[in-house]
Amino acid sequence: MIDRAKALASLPQGLQDELFDEYDDIVRNYREGRWKASGLDGGRFSEVAYNVLLGITTGTFPANANKPSNFKAKCDAFATDNQKYPPANSPHSARVLIPRILAVLYDVRNNRNVGHIGGDVPSNHMDAELVLHCSQWVMAEFVRIFHGLSVVNATATVAALVERTVPTIWEVGNKKRVLKTDLPLADKTLLLLYSTTGPVQDKVLADWLEQPRLDNYKRVLRALHKAKWVEYSTDGSVTLSPTGTGEVEDRLL
């Protein structure tokens, strides 16, 4: 699995930071139910992603994202202007598929009562779903293009890149705290793992949960392991399983 720092290391740092920032905002606003904000983020994400496409198709990446005029026409040009964007220089997805998706994201921002007063349809959960999954697909495709991964591995990598924001988790310094104090210890553990990319050591979880007796807390972890909600390894690392992820999303968010 490629970590966040290396996933798009081929991009200039400024462009990479902008892409991750907009992507993280889409995910964060979706999880917090802020549908209109998610749509706005989708428009900004499409602008940054357009600049990534410029680099892929021409070989020269902008240091930072620039907002193109006539966005739809500029996206269409990747597929139609073979002189400026030679087909041999870039994959089909960079010339055809991604530009079409970005144009859709941009249109959601402009024409769904998201970016301007007077949009014809109010923004809602359905629009936020579209923005979220389109942006995830684009990110996965970028990872696949830059690293030559399979679609499955690229998608898994992007899933690990998501900065999960859980309203009940407070990050303070290098610690995390569960603000919903009435939850059982097992549920607090699941929430902490859900909000963190990758495995967490049992000692770290115990510290975050202010459990002074690690041996006692390990019983909770073993029970979660037995339920297949986490993988509790002999080296002390704890990883949230797909079943555990579903449990969090169905019951705790």
pLDDT tens per residue across all 253 residues of the chain: 566 667 788 889 999 999 999 998 888 788 677 778 877 889 999 999 999 999 999 999 998 999 888 999 999 999 999 999 999 989 999 999 999 999 999 988 776 554 444 444 455 778 888 998 899 899 989 988 888 777 777 777 776 666 566 778 888 888 999 999 999 999 999 999 998 877 999 999 999 999 999 999 999 999 999 999 999 999 999 999 989 999 998 999 8
The CA distance from 214 to 210, in Å, is 10
The CA distance from 76 to 57, in Å, is 13
The CA distance from 69 to 12, in Å, is 22
What pLDDT score does 114 carry?
A: 45
Amino acid at 40: L
The CA distance from 176 to 166, in Å, is 11
What pLDDT score does 119 carry?
A: 46
Burial of 96 (0-12, 13-18, 19+ CB in 10 A): middle
131 token code pair: 């923005």
Chain-centroid distance, C-alpha 13? 18
Are the C-beta atoms of residues 193 and 200 closer than 8 Å to each other?
yes
Label residue 238 left, alpha or beta by phi (over 0 means left) and psi (-120 to 50 means alpha): beta
Q: pTM for the full model?
A: 0.67
18 token code pair: 């902008």
What pLDDT score does 41 carry?
A: 86
Are the C-beta atoms of residues 112 and 127 closer than 8 Å to each other?
yes
Amino acid at 183: L
What pLDDT score does 5 carry?
A: 65
- Measured at the CA of 44, the angle between CA 41 and CA 50, to 5 degrees, comes to 135
Domains of the chain: 4-161 (1.20.120), 169-252 (1.10.10.10)
What pLDDT score does 168 carry?
A: 84
What pLDDT score does 161 carry?
A: 66
